[in-house]
Structure 1
Amino acid sequence: MSHFSLILSKFVAMLVLLYIILNVIFGVNFMNVVWVTLILSIASYLIGDLVILPRTNNIVASVVDFVMSFGLVYFLVDAFAFDSNLFTASLLSAIGVTLFEAFFHSSVQTQIEEENNVNPGRYNLQTEVSEEIDPLIDDEDRDNK
């Protein structure tokens, strides 16, 4: 899968998740949810999946995604003049995004391993055999030939 398809699948899954949490539960406008999802999915893919995940493991990348998603959702939803319980909305969104990211990281790690796996091809090489190095023939048999 290419980077575009990974970002697109992440965006769609996060949009569904954040729509349920932010729009249905907390009443955030749908277009605001789309903007938050777009910014969060691109930022978490670039920072969490391409920079941190290859250098660490799934747990560290998920913790970074939790902190990043909490902070981004908190400040972006606050910027869109959200009047309800901002901390709870951000916390539930960050928990949901982190649970999704834990599964998403396995597909990203598989993608990175496939890109780094280089198949050198087959080398059809043979060893050279001659009379001088044939261990089954004695010196006397060689002289007689």
Structure 2
Amino acid sequence: MAHIKALAMKIAMVALVLLVVLSGFYGYPVLSTIVLSLLIVAVSYIVGDLLILRKANNTTATISDFAVVLFMTWFAAIPIYGTEVPFIPALISAIIIAAGEWVFHKYVSKQVHPEIEGVYSS
């Protein structure tokens, strides 16, 4: 149940940011942005939240999530949108999501990985 709550929170956060930035400000299709959000969440939850956060710390996991969001928004969006997303919207999205990830990792450390001590303080 902890994973379901965490995934729901992460989907909401990533989708909201991408919908505002990519669809709201840059006019990308809403449904495609939701698909991109789900792909980003799938990759970043496994890599950043389940693997890296357990082995390293919040800073490292947040940097990892920043990189995943940046590169997936910049490059993986090509088959979804049929065109590339310019670097600046991808960067803006990645920065905002990384800030949210910093806080999200504190939640994950306490609720999903309670065996990790001190991760949420770094």
TM-score (norm 1): 0.73
The structure that has the greater radius of gyration is 1
- Hey, what's the Cα distance between the residues in 1 that align with 2:34 and 2:63? 23
Give the match for residue 142 of structure 1.
Answer: none
Q: CA RMSD in A?
A: 1.6
Aligned to 1:30: 30
Deviations 1:11-53 (A, max 9, x none): 0121111111101111110011101100111111111000000
Q: How many pairs were matched up?
A: 114
Q: How does 1:4-83 map to 2 (within 5 A)?
A: 4-79=4-79, 80-82=81-83
Counterpart AA for 1:82? T
Partner of 2:120: none
- 1:65 is displaced (CA, Å) by 0.8
TM-score normalised by L of structure 2: 0.86
Aligned counterparts of 1:96 and 1:69: Cα–Cα separation in 2:
10
Identity of matched residues, %: 26
Indicate if the aligned counterparts of 2:13 and 2:97 stay in contact, CA closer than 8 A: no
- Give the whole-Å Cα distance in 1 for the aligned partners of 2:91 and 2:83: 15
Mapped contact 1:73–1:90 kept (Cα < 8 A): yes
Runs of 4+ in 1 over 3 A off after TM superposition: none
Shift in Å at residue 67 of structure 1? 0.8
Question: Cα offset for 1:81?
Answer: 2.1
Distance 1:30 1:71 in 2: 20
Displacement of 1:106 after TM fit?
Answer: 0.1
Distance 1:101 1:64 in 2: 10
Aligned equivalents of 2:67, 2:9: Cα separation in 1: 21
Contact (CA 8 Å) 1:28, 1:82: kept in 2 or not? no
Structure 1 gap ranges (5+): 118-145
Is the partner of 1:28 in helix, strand or coil?
Answer: coil
Task: Kindly indicate whether structure 1 or structure 2 has the higher relative contact order, using CA contacts under 8 Å at least 6 residues apart.
Answer: 2
SS in 1 for 2:82: coil
Cα displacement (A) at 1:86: 1.1
Query: Which sections of structure 2, spanning at least 5 residues, go unmatched?
Result: 117-122
When you count helix as a share of all residues, which structure comes out higher? 2
- Cα distance in 2 for partners of 1:75, 1:31 equals 18
